[in-house]
Each structure stands twice: as structure tokens, then as C-alpha cells.
Chain A
Amino acid sequence: MQSEDQPSLAIETPRQGECRVKLSGSWCTGSALPAAKDELLAHLSSGTLSFESSGLRRWDSVLLNFLMKLFREAEARRLTVDASGLPAGVARLIALARAVPEKETRREGEQGAWLEQIGSSTLGFVRSGRDMLTFLGEAVTAASKLLTGRAKFRRCDLVLAIQECGAQALPIASLISFLVGLILAFVGAVQLEQFGASIYVADLVAIAMAREMAAIMTGIIMAGRTGAAFAAQLGTMTVNEEIDAMRTLGISPMEFLVLPRLLALSVMMPLLCVYADLVGILGGLVVGLGMLDLTLTQYMVQTQAALDLTNLAIGVVKALVFGVLVALAGCLRGMQCGRSASSVGQAATSAVVLGIVAIIVTDAVFAVVTNVLGI
């Protein structure tokens, strides 16, 4: 004998062509459903299906779900269902769930043929490329307005953006560039010591930092830090209809929101890059003094001899370009943001990815161009 609380069902056939389901116990979430379920379905052949529920103690959606499945099955086998034996609440809820017929145009989860997929993703790629170019064009127009002094934005927005992507980025920029300088020196030291040329660690660190690493590392830091922040800020404003409000008041979001951010990042990135050069060389110096027994003067003189203005200038120009790219990527993704909270997150992620990809690709272009020009 089962305990009273256990859900159970029994099947009776009072007369030919009628099948009565006797429900008893508690049909609640968490209790194991009776195994007789499948057997019951086998019984359904023809005639009428009715219920008897005097033994039913408690019920919730578990029972409803079971009955819905049963009804559907019965319908498929063309049985007549008599729900009068069910508790009034259950019968009403089931009637409610079945009141509106299932929508025909249920969203199709399946995807089209592979050719169609290739086609649609190609079109999507073309479209996003066009959007990017449009955005770039608008940004250039806004920037040219800035040069003629007709761009409209608030000074305090610019100052705030400068603080955000300048001063507040110093701690992380210091840490990363110090460690990069340190790592470069370690890698160089292991190799160069074998030739007794450990003094050239100074050259390696100085040139690598000034020419490549300072610009790339600050670029990547800013993409993760500021680019994402820009995308999230503008994305939230899009969700909140604030950008629409600007457009209808005839205020160009391009000038008012994008321009101060673009300007701030392109002014601060070269400065951060020079700062990162210095801190990176300091990192190299620590290894030089601590591990390679070089003196401070030796290291400094060697660094000074190795570093010329060309290397420094290439780094700074790169940093400027990276700054523009990161700001554009962040603002582009923010302005393209959809109208839900999750799309703000996507915009931020996508801004970081786009920013970093743009940085690496542009750096490769720089490498080829400087090589061809012989600088």
C-alpha cells in the first residue's frame, strides 16, 4: 500500500468504451509521478475519458502538466474528454490554457540551408561594413566642424572624458608598462647574457617600448577600460531614449557625445604612451641593475644612445591612431546598441573586441609601412 501522500492513479473501465482515471494523493512539485502513466496512454483507444478525483489531496502545475499531455494525446486519438470529474480549479485552468489555440506562426528554431546562411551572413557583413563607414564619415564631418569651431558640445563633458581616460588610467598604465618593460628585459637578458652582451638589454627595452609595446599596451588597456565604458555609456543612453531625445531636439549626438570622447582619447593616448615609455624603461632598469650587475649610469647612457626621436615619434603617432580607433569603436558600438539591457553588455564586449582587432591590424600596417620607408 502506498502512503497517502504519494500521487497515484488507477484506471477503471466501468463499461465498454469508457475509461475512468482515478487520481489520488498529492500531485505536487517534488513528488515522484506514478509509473502507471505510460500504461494509461496504452489504455486510451476509443470512447470517453473521464476522471474521478475524490482521493486527490493537493495539486499544482505538475498535475496540470500531466493532464494537458493526456488531453492532447486523447485529442489525437479522437477520444471524448469529460473533465467534469476534475476539481473545479483544475478544470478551469485547463480550459484557460486551451482557450487560445496554439499560434501557427511559432518562431522557427531551424536555420535555412547552408547556402542561405552564407548569403545572409555575407549581407550582414556588408551591411555592418557600410554602417561603420557611415559612422566614420559622420565622425569626420563632426571633427571638421570642430576645426572650424562650429561643433556643439559641453566643455565639461570633454574635461570629464579627459579625466576618465587620462589621469584615472595612470595606475593601471603604470603597472602594465612597468611589467612589460621587466618582461622584455628578462627575455632579452637570458639570450644576451650568453654572448656577454647583457648591456644591450637597455637597447632592447628602450626601442621595443618606444616603438611598439607602449603604444600597443596602452591601446589595449584603453580599449578594455575606456572603449568599453564609452560603449556602455552610449548604449545605456540609447536604451533610455536619451539619444532619440537629442535627435528630436536637433542636437547631433555625433557632436555632443562622440566628439568630446574622441577628442579626449586622442589627446590623452600620446601622453599616456610617453608615460608608458618611461615606466617601461624603468622596469628594464630594475632588471638591469638587479640581475645583470649593470650600473645606473651604464644603463642610462646605453638607453640614451639607443633611443632616437624617430622611434619615439613612431610610438606616439601610433598611440594617437590607436586612441582614435578605440574611441570610434566604443562610440560606434554604443550608438548601434539595441533597446534592451543585454544589448548594452554586447555593445561593450563588441567594442573591446573591435578596438583590439583594429589596434593589432593597424600596428601590422604600421610595421610594413615603416619598413618600406626604412624608418
Chain B
Amino acid sequence: MTRTDVHIQVSDLTMAYGDFVIQRDLNFSIPRGAVFVIMGGSGCGKSTLMRHMIGLQRPARGKVLYGGESFWDAEPHRQAALMCRFGVLYQSGALWSSMTLAENVALPLGEYTSLDRRTIKEMASLKLALVGLAGFEEFYPSEISGGMRKRAGLARAMALDPEILFFDEPGAGLDPISSKLLDDLILELRQSLGTTIVMVTHELASIFAVATDSVFLDPETRTMIAQGDPKELLEHCDDPKVQRFLRRGNGSAR
């Protein structure tokens, strides 16, 4: 956190389904180039927070600012332009099942660039090679394993060279080794591309391995109760809930 350049800022965000408030008064900012983890127990609204940040769900109150520009107050064409700048890896990969991997990666390229068809095809192959799926261009999502589907989803999320990558539970449903490889890949990409990464996860191993900053959502008080580098939180945070979470339930260990 040496750079103070704020990339994403969430201010006074309240999320609700109808009258049912999920989280209220969320305030945090994400520096450019950070690996930011949204953590918390199951059902506390981590994924919902991500849906608010990527423009799929309108907040009940509050703002999400990208480089100072409020997403939800912007004109539709500005929203679309902002959305182009981030890539999202969904929990299940969310590849379009009627298209091959290459077509999945090529679709956003075809929509937003004026490249010719051959270059797009080469670019798609390149992105697939980056995530270790060279040679799988003509496969359909149903023909590959869950871990490969996630990596292909990552290739698609990176198709437009986004400034921000969002990950929804990248490790879910993967074995520890695949999960570790995905974490390494994420770090590698961040170092080479300088991407800001926002990740929803509750896997401690990957939280401590990759995160530089985090926010902890609590399902009972329905707001955030801690913020900062998870390694520092482990050392210095006094909140018993955060300690219990970060120490897998052994809250009294210190």
C-alpha cells in the first residue's frame, strides 16, 4: 500500500433486497494495483457486494466510485465504458455454453475492438495460452474440467486487458493444488499487467497468500467490522469475530 492512488472507492453503500438489508454503511477504498479481498462468513453478502461493484445490482443507498466517477450516477454509455475496463471471473466460470473456448474469449474482442478476424483469433489463442489452455480453442465448456473452465473464464475476463479484475470465489470447487496454481496465476498476472484485483473468498490459504488489503463483512451486525492487510489483521485486530475467522475458529490462540 505504498501508492495512495485510489482506484475504487465504496462510500456509504447499503445493499438490500426490498426491505431486507444485507449490509449497510460500507466504506472502503481500494488502491491501484492492490489485491483486495472481500471476506466474511457464508451468507454475509460478499458476492452481493461484488455484484454491486460490477454494476449488476443497484445499491439501495451510497456510491461506488471508479477513479472518482460514480458508477450508478453515470449515463448508460459511461457505465458501459466503465464496465469495459473490468473483467469478471464468476464462481462457475460462466462460460457461454453454446460457444467454444476461443469464441468465448473472442466475443468481447469482436465487440469492442476493430481488429480483423484473424488477429482476434490469434489474440484469443494467446489469452488461452496465458492461462495454460493452449490447444483447447475448439473445445466446448462442457468438455473440460471445472478447473479448466475457471481458467478459461479468467482468459475471457482478461480479453480486453482490463484495469480491474473481479474474482468470485476463485478457489471454490477446486482441489488445493489447482487452487494454489490459480492463485499463483493471479499474482503473476497482477505483477505483469499491474491490474487491480478484487476477490471474494473465504479460503484462508489464498487470503494470506495473495491479499494486500481486505475488508471483513459481518453477517450479524450487517456491516464491515475490519479493514486492512489480513496479515496485519491477524496480528493486531482485536475483534474476536475477525480473529476466529482468520484462525479457523481458534480465536483464543493469541
Contacts and interface: CB of A to CB of B under 8 A. Distances in A.
Interface of A: 152, 157, 236-237, 240-242, 244-251
B111 A152 contact: yes
Contacts of B98: 157
B94 A245 contact: yes
A157 B88 CA distance: 24
Contact of B92 (A152, A241, A247, A250): A241
Interface in B54-98: 54-56, 80, 83-84, 86, 88, 90-92, 94-98
Given A240-B94, A245-B94, A251 B88 contact: no
Contacts of B156: 245
B88 A245 contact: yes
Nearest to B166: A248
Q: Which of A245, A246, A250 has the most CB of B within 10 A?
A: A245
A237 B93 CA distance: 12
A157 B107 CA distance: 13
From A236, A237, A242, A248, residue with most partner B Cβ within 10 Å: A248
A246 B55 CA distance: 12
Nearest to A256: B107
Interface string B88-130: 1011101111100000000110011000000000000000000
Interface residues of B, number: 23
B83 A251 contact: no
B112 A242 contact: no
B111 A240 contact: no
Nearest to B79: A250
Return the 9 tightest CB-CB contacts between A and B, nearest first. A241-B94, A245-B94, A241-B90, A250-B80, A248-B88, A249-B108, A250-B83, A242-B94, A248-B54
Interface of B: 51, 54-56, 80, 83-84, 86, 88, 90-92, 94-98, 107-108, 111-112, 156, 160
A237 B97 contact: yes
B43 to A, nearest CB: 14
A260 to B, nearest CB: 11
B54 to A, nearest CB: 5
**Most A CB within 10 A of own CB, among B86, B91, B92:** B92
29 contacts: A152-B111, A157-B98, A237-B96, A240-B92, A241-B94, A242-B95, A242-B96, A242-B97, A244-B51, A244-B88, A244-B90, A245-B88, A245-B94, A245-B96, A247-B83, A248-B83, A248-B88, A249-B83, A249-B107, A249-B108, A249-B111, A249-B160, A250-B83, A250-B84, A250-B108, A250-B111, A250-B112, A251-B107, A251-B111
A123 to B, nearest CB: 11
Given A240-B92, A240-B97, A248 B86 contact: yes
Contacts of B108: 249-251
A244 to B, nearest CB: 6
A248 B91 CA distance: 14
A124 to B, nearest CB: 12
Given A240-B92, A242-B94, A245-B90, 15 more contacts: A152-B111, A237-B96, A237-B97, A240-B94, A241-B91, A242-B95, A245-B95, A245-B156, A247-B56, A247-B83, A248-B54, A249-B160, A250-B84, A250-B111, A250-B112
A77 B139 CA distance: 67
A241 B86 CA distance: 17
Contacts of B55: 247-248
A244 B94 contact: yes
Nearest to A249: B108
A152 to B, nearest CB: 6
B248 to A, nearest CB: 19
A249 B108 CA distance: 7
B253 to A, nearest CB: 22
B191 to A, nearest CB: 24
Given A251-B108, A251-B111, A244 B56 contact: yes
Contacts of A152: 111
Contacts of A250: 80, 83-84, 108, 111-112
